[in-house]
Amino acid sequence: MTQRPQQILCPVDFDETSWKALKKASLLASTWQASLLAFHVVQEFPYEGASVPGDLVSLMGQWEKDALKALEEKVSSLVDPKVEASSKVTTGVPYEEILQCLKEEPADLVLLGPDRHGSLASLVLGRHTETVVRNTRTPVWIEKSPEGASGLPKKVAFLTDFSPASLDAASQALPWVELLGAKFSLVHILEPFVLPAFSLVDPKEYEKSLSELASQRMEDFQKQLNLKNLDWEKLLLHNSLEKALKDLVEKKAVDLIVLSTHGRTAMAKKKLGTTATQILRHLPCSALVLRPKTLDFSWL
């Protein structure tokens, strides 16, 4: 994909992080001359099979109308007037409706924000984000820029575990980096490994061997990527996942982390990969989640 995205879908749940996401979606749409669809899901009656009071059905219909009016007002005030923007509201289960919306109105990017508590657990997010990412091949951008930050990301980091799925996702990531006009860091994190107490292996020698192996794997990995048009670097970080992510943001000025939904640690999982889930839990900045084209877990 070196062609610019044509449409961005931005699910919102009417909190402040949603509006930050909508502003970022507007900026990207304006930069790429893409259209923008702001989308809200009114939560349906929670008890399946129960008799829904008629007045509640009427009330939910009114909520949908009120939500659409409020969303249109927000879009009018927050979205660049040069962007072709529209609003849509429906009632149902958020992740189901987001996936259905993607079928009816295909987008090149889904952009949403974390909840007001800083985790991925709001009405539109939480398990809904995980389910959307697992069931769509559309890239998902989780907007988590620090307060006061504006503009496009200036430095993008791709996290790799050297697996075939990671290589696939890295190849997808590079055109996004070019479109953003950002610097690029190819990153592998070597987390601490504790040898068994009965092991006769020298821990320092073992760590040295791992580091040398990782360096060689990084060399092999980068040779399979087309990096010639990018201002890029490679980084091997020796730290825990949480601290390494923090260092990327605070010491390396990374403001967008790109990762694959599945990697070596979760090749047979139905949900987000274990490592991907951990990264999203400790997310110190915005993230772009890509699903490898070579993997299909829809049958699980």
- Residue ranges of domains in the chain, CATH in brackets: 7-142 (3.40.50.620), 155-290 (3.40.50.620)
Three-state SS at 265:
helix
Phi, psi of 111 (to 5 degrees): -125, 120
**Whole-prediction pTM:** 0.85
CB atoms within 10 A of CB 291: 24
Q: State how far the Cα of 241 lies from the Cα of 223, in Å rounded to an integer.
A: 25
| Residue 117, pLDDT score | 42
| Residue 279, pLDDT score | 77
Mean pLDDT of 45-53: 55
Which of 268 and 5 is assigned the larger pLDDT? 5
DSSP β-bridge partners for residue 126: none
Contacts of 21 (CB under 8 A, 6+ apart): 10, 12, 111, 112, 113, 143
- Would the pLDDT of 68 be above 80? yes
- Would the pLDDT of 196 be above 80? no
Using CB atoms within 10 Å of the CB of residue 230, give its burial: 0 to 12 exposed, 13 to 18 middle, 19+ buried.
middle
265-285 residues labelled b (16+ CB within 10 A) or e (exposed): ebeebebbbebbbebbeebbb
Average pLDDT over all residues of the chain:
84
| Residue 274, pLDDT score | 60
| Residue 200, pLDDT score | 75
Contacts of 52 (CB under 8 A, 6+ apart): 45
**Residue 120 binned pLDDT confidence (cut-offs 50, 70, 90):** very low
- Would the pLDDT of 191 be above 50? yes
Q: State how far the Cα of 70 lies from the Cα of 63, in Å rounded to an integer.
A: 10
| Residue 300, pLDDT score | 36
| Residue 275, pLDDT score | 67
- Would the pLDDT of 74 be above 50? yes
Tokens 């970080």 sit at which residue?
Answer: 237
Using CB atoms within 10 Å of the CB of residue 254, give its burial: 0 to 12 exposed, 13 to 18 middle, 19+ buried.
buried
| Residue 264, pLDDT score | 42
Q: State how far the Cα of 256 lies from the Cα of 178, in Å rounded to an integer.
A: 13
Three-state SS at 43:
strand
- Would the pLDDT of 54 be above 80? no
Which structure tokens are listed for 129? 């984000």
| Residue 2, pLDDT score | 58
Q: State how far the Cα of 150 lies from the Cα of 123, in Å rounded to an integer.
A: 26
Whole-angstrom CA distances from 190 to 66, 169, 236 are: 50, 20, 7
| Residue 12, pLDDT score | 93
pLDDT digits (tens, 9 = 90+) for 210-242: 899 999 999 999 999 999 989 999 999 999 988
Which of 135 and 78 is assigned the larger pLDDT? 78
| Residue 285, pLDDT score | 92
Q: What percent of the chain has pLDDT over 70?
A: 82
